[in-house]
Structure 1
Amino acid sequence: MNTPISPASFDFAARTDDAGHDLALVQLGRRLQADAYHFVTVTPLSHERNNARPGNRRARNLRDVFGWSRPFEADLLSKTELDALASRGVISAEGGLWRSTVRWSSLQDLLFVHSAFPTVGHDAVFFGPDTYRYAQAIEQHLSHCVHPIRTAVDIGCGSGMGAILIGRARREAQVSAVDINPTALRFTAVNAALAEVTNVSAWHSDILTGVGGDFDLIVANPPYMQDTLQRAYRHGGERMGSELSVRIAEAAVARLTLGGTLLLYTGAPCVDGVDLFLAHALPVVDRPEFAWSYREVDPDVFGEELDTETYANAERIAAVVLTVTRVA
């Protein structure tokens, strides 16, 4: 049976290793909030360049530890805090130093836990520039949306950012955050607890197969690169990573209420002037029962991928937003 992970679970004492780890994250997040911690996560290349600069090899403060993922001396934390975080696996020993196993990023007044840099694990949870652009797209939609939102879902929720923004803006809505990655679901529950939203629950689901009903709002920011290692947080399937986004669009539009909207933020690889994502999404959305719009929010992202064999024929990868509303 598919059981949701709810922020309310953090009202109780931890009884498993995972729950203890996640409760420690909630407590650490509240500590960072109280200290006015703030960190904006950059692209992996910018992160690598910052850490490679002289003087940045070791952490000097909590932003270095929990934002820049730099190794640190034990005296940066109190012995009590160091022991507590180490016992729960939130930090780990490394060559006589310590390193955080997670990062913390800021979005407005919110704080989100996600995977440490570099994000190499198959269960890594990503947060970065795409997340900020995705947030802007959601907030823009919510600011103009007059259709009541009673049910909403964030597909491939990752850190839970989309679900949490919707849950805060529409307290009356029941918001599901779904992902195939158990780590993403646990981080979403932690982040929802920190944001103090009680109308968000995290469910294991491959796209929408694990949740029932129709939705007034469906949002998604799926992985959109064709990753040779097929890491879940990054791999968007064939057609230069656009395959998964088309599958999500197809599943989502079938589950919209009348007046409901799909907001899909993704990447669109372009070959010989042809947008591969839009070319395959059009048969799904360009139908009488839907009104749709499409816009580029950044014409050129992940340009370094053009040097790889997978993207040898691509001209560029654009960040795009597809919006589809059921009108009949």
Structure 2
Amino acid sequence: MVTQSHAAPFPDVDPERLLALVQAVRDTGYTFTTVTPATHARVNGRPGNSQAKSLRDVLGWSRPFADDLLPPTLLDALQRAEAVTRRPEGLRSTVRLSSLDQELFLHSAYPPSAADAVFFGPDTLRFVGAVLEHLQTRTTPVRRAVDIGCGSGAAGICVAKRLPDAEVVLVDINPAALRAAAVNARSAGVANVSLQQSDMLRAIEGRFDLIVSNPPFMIDQSARAYRHGGGPLGAGLSLSVIEAARERLAPGGSLVLFTGSAIVEGADPFRDAAGALCAEAGLTWTYREFDPDEYGEELDDPAYAEAERLALVILTATRS
């Protein structure tokens, strides 16, 4: 069925139908690298890009499409998954599919304006890369891992693929994210993943050998869950992840935190606060700027009046 109104940010339907949609798209050879919302808006705003001309336009660029654009089997798969709506400009998919680690990941369509949108973007690829780099260098085994604020589940799923004997828990406060992550885990064929709705680790027991997280770190006036970090210059959730991790890391366990930091007059307030939290818990830690200047357009927000740049950073903290 094609609905006439705006759909939920992620369909609450039989996951088998969503799995069938992913498989049908995979069978076409589809791939797509999701860009930032700013880049997405620029590309979609070019002449000739207002309407979809291909499957990538539909499920990657989130462009409206005519009823006869897609093969009937694909349109049927979208309809059965309740992942398509009818708007004045044409049909629109309510989900996107993005490529990572030879998998396709379901997440929210562009623009991700809903409060509970399921995030996937360039930072997802950067985050997963940082986590996999850590796995290659660590010398202690991982028996239990958790992805805090898992979103689409990408990082935890990539960990589970490489550590099939480990228990990997995907945690998010957003039910829509957990629905997406469950489908993505099944699509990737990982059987060692469990999912839990939780604010940080409050609903989860036990210790972990590996804790990974890419929390929201922006100041978002709409307070969207996937984007708003809260606290000082958007660092609130990132600091909360460190606080949760330092209580729950097993001996030899590590936290890999990929986040952003607002630099003020050459100083990094987040680094100072994060380092203090690690030192208080006796954790050894490393910190580096992955990218010194990202999301420059955000500096137009008055909330960033004191910031001179937004850096992407990686904190790794380990319990001896």
TM score, norm. by length of structure 2: 0.94
Q: What is the CA distance between 1:81 and its match in structure 2?
A: 4.2
Match of residue 167 from structure 1: 160
1:39–1:301 distance in 2 versus 1, CA, 3 Å: same
* Contact 2:21/2:74 (8 A) holds in 1: no
Q: Is 1:48 the equivalent of 2:38? A: no
- What are the residue-to-residue correspondences of 1:64-79 with 2, within 5 Å? 64-79=57-72
1:257 pairs with 242, 245, 250, which one?
250
Match of residue 290 from structure 2: 297
Three-state SS of the structure 2 residue aligned to 1:286 is helix
Paired AA for residue 311 in structure 2 = A
2:12 pairs with 2, 6, 18, which one?
18
The one-character-per-residue Cα deviations of 1:183-208 (angstroms, maximum 9, x if unpaired) are 00000001001100011111100000
* Contact 2:18/2:81 (8 A) holds in 1: no
* Contact 2:22/2:104 (8 A) holds in 1: yes
Match of residue 218 from structure 1: 211
Across the aligned residues of Structure 1 and Structure 2, the Cα RMSD in angstroms comes to 1.4
2:114 pairs with 114, 121, 145, which one?
121
Q: What is the CA distance between 1:84 and its match in structure 2?
A: 4.8
Paired AA for residue 12 in structure 2 = D
Paired AA for residue 158 in structure 2 = L
The one-character-per-residue Cα deviations of 1:194-253 (angstroms, maximum 9, x if unpaired) are 100011111100000011000000000000011111111111012110011011101111
1:207 pairs with 200, 213, 216, which one?
200
Q: CA separation in 2, counterparts of 1:294 and 1:151?
A: 24
Q: What is the CA distance between 1:271 and its match in structure 2?
A: 1.0
- What are the residue-to-residue correspondences of 1:1-328 with 2, within 5 Å? 18-20=12-14, 22-79=15-72, 81-95=74-88, 97-287=90-280, 289-327=282-320
1:110–1:280 distance in 2 versus 1, CA, 3 Å: same
Q: CA separation in 2, counterparts of 1:214 and 1:320?
A: 25
Paired AA for residue 155 in structure 1 = I
Q: CA separation in 2, counterparts of 1:55 and 1:211?
A: 49
The gaps in structure 1 that reach 5 residues or longer are: 1-16
Regions of 4+ moved over 3 Å: 78-81
Give the number of aligned pairs: 310
Paired AA for residue 232 in structure 1 = A
The one-character-per-residue Cα deviations of 1:16-41 (angstroms, maximum 9, x if unpaired) are x8242x32221111112111111001
Q: CA separation in 1, counterparts of 2:273 and 2:281?
A: 17
Match of residue 7 from structure 2: none
Paired AA for residue 18 in structure 1 = D
Three-state SS of the structure 2 residue aligned to 1:197 is coil
Q: CA separation in 2, counterparts of 1:161 and 1:85?
A: 22
Paired AA for residue 16 in structure 2 = L
Three-state SS of the structure 1 residue aligned to 2:289 is strand
Paired AA for residue 114 in structure 2 = G
Q: CA separation in 2, counterparts of 1:128 and 1:85?
A: 22
* Contact 1:242/1:276 (8 A) holds in 2: no
Paired AA for residue 159 in structure 1 = S
Q: CA separation in 2, counterparts of 1:125 and 1:237?
A: 18
Q: CA separation in 1, counterparts of 2:280 and 2:51?
A: 56
Paired AA for residue 202 in structure 1 = L
Q: CA separation in 1, counterparts of 2:299 and 2:74?
A: 44
Q: What is the CA distance between 1:83 and its match in structure 2?
A: 4.3
Q: CA separation in 2, counterparts of 1:49 and 1:322?
A: 32
Q: CA separation in 1, counterparts of 2:30 and 2:96?
A: 12
Q: What is the CA distance between 1:89 and its match in structure 2?
A: 2.0
TM score, norm. by length of structure 1: 0.91
Q: CA separation in 1, counterparts of 2:123 and 2:75?
A: 32
* Contact 2:33/2:98 (8 A) holds in 1: yes
Three-state SS of the structure 1 residue aligned to 2:303 is coil
Paired AA for residue 154 in structure 1 = D
